[in-house]
Chains A and B, each alone.
Chain A
């Protein structure tokens, strides 16, 4: 029983690490892309090189990538211990919830009832996934 509890706690910690790092990365990258503008338009004006230059010269983008790298190695670590069918959906779904909150707070996105309701449904879905 104690082993089972320890295993559940370890899974929660590994998934939590992935989610926190991924949320920080997503918010920073989304913020960077909003500042840069529509990549399709930039590509039309300045070509692919211009679009790549616009992205890679943005400091906020690199901070986001660093956070995503932390998330990636946390994922590798988790996959060496737990099932893919638990780690991938649970971390991805929880990231949707934390990103919804972060999108409202930090990116000032229009998170309407539809998006909040969807986040709630995702929470219930995660509980079902963990059973």
Chain B
């Protein structure tokens, strides 16, 4: 793992919870959506907060794909779960939601667990690596 790769994982951690918080602000302004008016969800994506959240989540997705191209899924997802802590901090100090002691303990436990995972190897080497024909063409012209 290089420093640049850790930066990619850090961006994944921060951009996802920030995007979720933007979505939360936007959806709370719209109000509860009933199943009878489900098309309101499609209207929601054109509102500024939800659109901003989507932009952040697109950034998250690009960095997430990059990470998955050189690390296992079971390595990347736990490594990025630090975002739960960011969500809790944003929910508490920006959205002014109440976070109980039990929830803080849960968030701490999850973060500690996923931090533990990052101490191990990041990628499983298969004996016969699978390579798609189109990727072969790009990798070995």
Contacts and interface: CB of A to CB of B under 8 A. Distances in A.
Partners in one complex: yes
Contacts of B134: 36, 53-54, 57-58
Counting contact residues on chain A (CB < 8 A from B), the size range is 35 or more
Nearest to A55: B65
B66 A39 contact: yes
Contact of A30 (B33, B73, B117): B73
Interface string A80-117: 11011100110011011001101110011111101101
Contact of A79 (B24, B74, B126, B138): B24
Interface string B55-75: 001000000011011101110
Contact of B91 (A34, A83, A114, A120): A83
27 contacts: A33-B65, A34-B130, A36-B69, A37-B135, A39-B70, A45-B139, A46-B138, A54-B138, A58-B132, A73-B41, A76-B27, A80-B32, A84-B90, A88-B20, A89-B87, A92-B83, A92-B84, A96-B110, A108-B124, A117-B116, A118-B114, A119-B113, A121-B112, A125-B109, A128-B109, A129-B103, A129-B107
